Amino acid sequence: MKRILLGLLVFTLIGILKLNAQQEPMYTQYMFNTLAVNPAYAGTRNALNLNTLTRLQWVGLEGSPKTFSVALHSPINKRKIGVGMTLVTDEVGPVRNTYVTLNYAYRLRITDDLTLSMGIKGGLSNYHAGLAELKVNDPEDPHFQVDEKKLSPNVGLGFYLYSDKYYVGFSAPKLIETTVDEEYAASKNELKRHYYIIGGYIWKINSHWIFKPSLLTKAVSGAPVSNDITMQFLYNDRIWMGAMYRIGDAAGLFVDVKINKQLIIGYGYDFSLNELSGINSGTHEIMLSFDFDGFATSKVKSPRYF
């Protein structure tokens, strides 16, 4: 299984495609927000978990992206089934995308230490472009007098293989490609299908320190493959300290503090390494994760770090 994980991680680092742009929101602390991109993660924490993440990207740049996500998921039937829901709002300038989805996962025990979770998701996506609010040279232009709106269904799937030491997953959280403007159905005004590969490994250095490298790869037709490489250290099972490098795009640091057995609070900051570096003051993320102990389905043999 270690060879499988290594092969997938190496595979995601090869090849760059010439494309337009990523349409789905990105996260520096993605390892705490896995359900947003992979429905198979639902219920894997063995307790009812609530996660919120707020991301303010490229602060200081007018119309910069703002993302808010909330995820709630829990196992049921003690160990085999997980359910959850996600709500994501992503704003870029006058455009706001809102996604509401329900997630279902079924877990299959492969060995005593290895589990495969298979998940599906379904929901609605709401696209809204506030064109009437824009300041334009010609206020009489009919194209900017009416807001664009689009409500469309969404389905997705994912696979998540994990043990106490490592995890690897593949997902396509948005399988239906939606045309935003029917008048230009043959053009590129579409919300594209995205693919994600995620993986990580846990190394126990000594009684105080744990090292966890991880990788998130995003691919979409018409945009370059995006790779987030992250190195994290956990001190005394309480404080996560990490650094992230998004190849050719950004780098950042984050810290997550385990307040108690249930609550984790995190902050992340990253800065651009491309042509946007001189016109914004960086990106800020605030993350909160809470496990409701009263809903725990079983006692975990060893601590979970993902």
Share the mean pLDDT of the chain: 84
Is the residue at 59 inside a domain? yes
Query: How many Å apart are CA 254 and CA 28, to the nearest integer?
Result: 8
Residue 185 pLDDT greater than 50, yes or no: no
pLDDT recorded at residue 136 = 58
For 270-287, what is the mean pLDDT? 91
Is the residue at 255 inside a domain? yes
Burial environment of residue 274 by CB neighbours within 10 A (0 to 12, 13 to 18, 19 or more): exposed
Number of domains in the chain: 1
Handedness of CA 294, 297, 302, 306 (dihedral sign): negative
Is the residue at 26 inside a domain? yes
Tokens of 41: 């993660």
DSSP string, 147-177: -EEEEEEEEEEEEEEE-SSEEEEEEEEE-S-
Is the residue at 305 inside a domain? no
CATH of the domain at 235: 2.40.160.40
Confidence category of residue 206, pLDDT binned at 50, 70, 90: very high
Host H or E run for residue 241: strand 239-246
Residue 229 pLDDT greater than 70, yes or no: yes
Residue 247 pLDDT greater than 80, yes or no: yes
Confidence category of residue 19, pLDDT binned at 50, 70, 90: very low
pLDDT in tens, 89-134: 999 888 889 999 999 999 999 999 999 999 999 999 998 877 656 6
Determine what percent of the chain is predicted with pLDDT higher than 90.
60
pLDDT recorded at residue 199 = 96
Q: Kindly report whether the global pTM for this prediction surpasses the value 0.75.
A: yes
Q: What is the 3-state secondary structure (H, E, C) of 61-123?
A: CCCCCEEEEEEEEEEECCCCEEEEEEEEEEEECCEEEEEEEEEEEEEEECCCCCEEEEEEEEE
Is the residue at 257 inside a domain? yes
Is the residue at 304 inside a domain? no
Q: What is the dihedral of CA 275, 54, 267, 25, to 10 degrees?
A: -40
pLDDT recorded at residue 133 = 64
Residue of 188 and 111 predicted with greater confidence: 111
> What's the Cα-to-Cα distance from 24 to each of 6, 191, 294, rounded to whole Å?
26, 9, 34
Q: Give the residues across from 84 on adjacent strands.
A: 73, 103
Is the residue at 221 inside a domain? yes
Segment among 20-29, 90-99, 245-254, 262-271 with least mean pLDDT? 20-29
Tokens 């809470």, located at residue: 290
Query: How many Å apart are CA 139 and CA 142, to the nearest integer?
Result: 8
Is the residue at 303 inside a domain? no
173, 184 Cβ separation under 8 angstroms: no
Q: Which residue range is the domain that position 40 belongs to?
A: 2-295
Confidence category of residue 297, pLDDT binned at 50, 70, 90: low
pLDDT recorded at residue 14 = 33
pLDDT in tens, 137-152: 556 555 555 667 889 9
Single-letter residue type at 298:
S
43: CB partners within 8 A, 6+ apart: 73, 74, 75, 76, 81, 82, 83, 84, 105, 107, 117
pLDDT in tens, 30-61: 999 999 999 999 999 888 999 999 999 999 88
